[in-house]
Amino acid sequence: MPKRPSVALLSVWPGLAQVWSGQEVLGLILAALFAATVNLAIVSQWVWTEAFEAGWSRFFLALAGLTWLAALAYTLWWAWRHDPARHSAELDRLFREAFDLYLQGRFNESRRRLERILDRDEDDADALMQLGTIYLRTRHPGPARRAFRQCLECEGGAKWRWEIDRHLARLDASDADPS
């Protein structure tokens, strides 16, 4: 996630900050809308002046300006809401709570905290590892496998490879053993 000043600088072109921060679809929609309105304003003002009635070029220019202002407002609101320091502190707080709840044996509450972390950052390897462990403890082998495999696919999942391989081997052995 880029820093807030970088996001503000990227907001000069609507959609660029969204693409940069992982909201590709929204960013492409904003960029296409802005580009279309700017192109219409330019074409109606200087290229095909006779194709549009009087006033349309000003309308397209106003629409481009409103699109730019709306995209800028959304980007600044989003950057304020997803302040990297506050976002990181919230994820750390949720992880500590989940771990404390896990140690107390309150697995469902711990799982809910970890799922909230993963809603915000689906590539959090530590949360995925802990979630897989909870699924193992609560005898849900299918979700445990998915969480462990997703953890291995994450950027930070390599540090858990040995433990995940051990858990997956144990799960495979228990599937093979009918007793």
Q: Are 125 and 159 in contact (CB under 8 A)?
A: yes
Closest CA to 47 of 64, 60, 30, 29: 60
pLDDT digits (tens, 9 = 90+) for 73-107: 888 887 777 666 677 788 899 999 999 999 999 99
Q: Are 17 and 75 in contact (CB under 8 A)?
A: yes
Closest CA to 28 of 13, 48, 8: 13
pLDDT tier at 143, thresholds 50, 70, 90: very high
- What does the block give as tokens for 162? 């040995």
To the question of pTM greater than 0.85 for the whole model, the response is: no
Closest CA to 146 of 122, 160, 128, 169: 128
Domains and CATH numbers, the chain: 4-81 (no CATH), 84-176 (1.25.40.10)
Looking at residue 1, its pLDDT comes to 44
